Structure 1
């Protein structure tokens, strides 16, 4: 009889089908020796490249941290002001509201330009600000027409390729400051014609 305190021994595992290990070529040995360090160098190079690219200024994008912060704050204030102004009433009131919206944009531009060193830190900032100036000028001309009671659409300035500058402005301010729709396609709050 077996002793209950003694652990039960299992028979050793036997493989019924056993084959010899496949031969390893010396070539594979050297491939393994060379591939490891080479892969390490490639990963290190990719890491360094990412750091270098991230530190450069993207030519068509506002990407400097301080610029993005200032532009984002000023743009948010401008957007809320512009969207809070309703275009309604007689032509003179509508024109006044259009000019008030333009003033909100000018205030944003003034606050951004007050930080002199920012324009040098982010390549597209100066061109982006100039596009805003062009949009405000076009809106001023539009306000004059609206004040005179004329029915016209706002003519957004175009770039050298024939695209509206607002496309370029939105692209540069990617997720930082998009041009509010109220500035590009003014909608009047009442049913009266302009």
Structure 2
């Protein structure tokens, strides 16, 4: 019977002697850097946190962010939008002009409800006063449109502009924290019959 040959023994490399060399010397200046870095990082975090609190407490200049104002604006804007969307421009020129004014009335009610918060509350949230004035300017432009609509074949709504842009863009930007955009019906009137602008 033939003998089975044995495989050669497995040899492993010698273990790495990690501590064969002495540890590098620690220079004294790095010790002090390490000692100072900890407290410095803590101070930096405290200052950053305090700055965040201070910035949060201040009013964002282009954004309506006061909780009391936001609450009223949110409720009133929903009501106004629902009313405006439920008043399509129908009938003859005179009826359509009246619908435009009815839509304006819904906007005026919203503006008045927000103004009822009082000047002190509105002053806490800087863009609110400008936002309300923009609504009033839009209402005035639409009132002119309603007059033209009743007397002209082709009346056009001229939405006021600021720096070349419609004021509605600024109005919508102030509402980033609230779901309240200017309804399209107020800026792009849609007629229910064949009359168009």
**Unaligned 5+ runs, structure 2:** 1-13
CA distance in 2, matches of 1:186, 1:60: 28
Does the C-alpha gap of structure 1 residues 81 and 175 become closer, same or farther in structure 2, counting only changes over 3 Å? farther
Could you tell me the TM-score, scaled by structure 1's length?
0.85
Cα distance per residue 1:97-123 (max 9 Å; x no partner): 111110000010111111213222212
Query: Which residue in the other structure is 1:29 paired with?
Result: 31
- Report if the CA contact (8 A) 2:64-2:177 is conserved: no
How far off is 1:174 after superposition?
2.3
Once superposed, which parts of structure 1, at least 4 consecutive aligned residues long, lie more than 4 Å away? Answer: none
Cα distance per residue 1:6-40 (max 9 Å; x no partner): xxxxxxxx954223333322222111111111011
| Structure of larger gyration radius | 2
**Unaligned 5+ runs, structure 1:** 1-13
Query: Which residue in the other structure is 2:101 paired with?
Result: 99
CA distance in 1, matches of 2:185, 2:99: 11
CA distance in 2, matches of 1:93, 1:171: 33
CA distance in 2, matches of 1:88, 1:27: 84
* Count of residues in correspondence between the two structures: 180
Superposition pairs for residues 38-117 of structure 1, below 5 Å?
38-116=40-118, 117=120
Query: Which residue in the other structure is 2:150 paired with?
Result: 147
CA distance in 2, matches of 1:152, 1:29: 80
- Report if the CA contact (8 A) 2:65-2:177 is conserved: no
Query: Which residue in the other structure is 1:190 paired with?
Result: 193
Could you tell me the TM-score, scaled by structure 2's length?
0.84
Instruction: Please give the root-mean-square deviation of Cα atoms over the aligned residues, in Å.
Output: 1.8
CA distance in 2, matches of 1:16, 1:114: 81
